[in-house]
Every structure is written in C-alpha cells, then in structure tokens.
Amino acid sequence: MPGGPYLEISYYEDGRPMIAYLYLHGKNGIKSAKNRQVAPGYVLDFTADGHVIGVELLYPDEVTLEAINQILQQFGEAPITKSDLGARRAMPGTA
C-alpha cells in the first residue's frame, strides 16, 4: 500500500477539533471493510483481508503519539512519528 501516514482533522465552526482520521498508508482511496474500537476514542479501520488502513480519532484533542503507537504495535503496524501528525485541516463541519 503506497504512501505514508496522513492526518486529517475536521473542526467545529469555533475552531475546536471535531474528529480526526489517520490514514496509515496515505489518502489512497482504499476503503474500509470493517472497523473495531480498540481503546476509548480510537477506532481502527481494516481492509477486507484484515490490514489496518487507518485510525479514527474520536477525541483528537486527547490523542497522544504514545497511545497511537501502542495500538499500532498491537496490530503489527510500524510506529508513526511526531512529524506524521502534521495535520491537514478539513473544512469546518465536514466530518
């Protein structure tokens, strides 16, 4: 799966983060076939053949790099770095 981690955050009109999505292999059009909440506020998306493709971050203002990497490690994924969390801002109210 090509591409590297890509973080996208959607914001409320007042600028507070609403929800975020961490694409693990870039924003490449691969669709989720199933998902699983693995910790409060963290939902993993999987392909039909079981590969992790992304992480839904339900409370983006509470996310830590350490928590994400612990979850990724549990599922055999490579850790991400702080620079991978350089977010792309989505339009307010578009989550």
Provide the domain count of the chain: 1
Q: What is the pLDDT of residues 60-76, one digit of tens each?
A: 989 999 999 999 999 99
Residue 1 in domain: no
Asked if residues 32 and 45 have their Cβ atoms less than 8 Å apart, the reply is: yes
Domain membership of residue 57 (yes or no) is yes
Considering the domain boundaries, does residue 95 fall inside one? no
Q: Quick check: 16 and 32 in contact, CB under 8 A?
A: no
Count CB-CB contacts under 10 A for residue 83.
Answer: 8
Q: What angle do CA 36, 69, 21 make, to 5 degrees?
A: 55
Q: Which domain holds residue 69?
A: 6-89
pLDDT tens per residue, range 6-56:
899 999 999 999 999 999 988 778 889 999 999 999 999 999 999 999 999
pLDDT reported for residue 30: 85
Whole-prediction pTM value? 0.84
